[in-house]
Amino acid sequence: MLKELESLGANLVALTPQMPEHNRASTNKGDLNFHLLTDPGNAYAAQLGLRFEVPDDLKAVYSGFGLELPKYNGDESWTLPIPARFVIDGGGIIRATDIDADYTYRPEATKTLEDLRALA
């Protein structure tokens, strides 16, 4: 998909609250061929209204699996970003979005390509 994005003149950038040292396993293996930026404390996600506090019952589940968000995210919060996709044109105008409050939902990659083709 990345090649097709590039053929449409697009760049892919991802934001994560995880600290870079916890992303290195993926980036060092060469699995990621796009920019992966860190959003400390989910601050940018919060500015967009896309940050939520993990509920206590889910914290217990995560902890039971050894997934301590504060360790990975480098702060004491138990917050996560709501997954979102933005298609932004060269002038910085948001032309398409895909946001769902259900944090288990992930936008379809094919929808991004459709949105880019519509702009071409």
Would 62 be classed as within a structural domain? no
pLDDT digits (tens, 9 = 90+) for 79-88: 999 999 999 9
pLDDT digits (tens, 9 = 90+) for 33-80: 788 899 999 999 999 999 999 999 999 999 999 988 999 898 999 999
pLDDT-derived band at 30 (thresholds 50, 70, 90) equals low
- Residue with more model confidence, 44 or 104: 44
Tell me if 40 sits within 8 A of 75, measured CB to CB: yes
Would 11 be classed as within a structural domain? yes
Would 41 be classed as within a structural domain? yes
User: Domain of 36?
Assistant: 2-52+79-119
Would 22 be classed as within a structural domain? yes
Would 107 be classed as within a structural domain? yes
- Nearest residue to 36 via CA among 46, 52, 24: 24
Number of domains in the chain: 1
Strands (E), the chain: 13-16, 35-38, 51-53, 79-81, 84-88, 94-99
Domain at 41, CATH number: 3.40.30.10
Q: Which two tokens stand for residue 56?
A: 């206590």
pLDDT-derived band at 20 (thresholds 50, 70, 90) equals confident
pTM of the model: 0.80
- Residue with more model confidence, 8 or 107: 8
Would 30 be classed as within a structural domain? yes
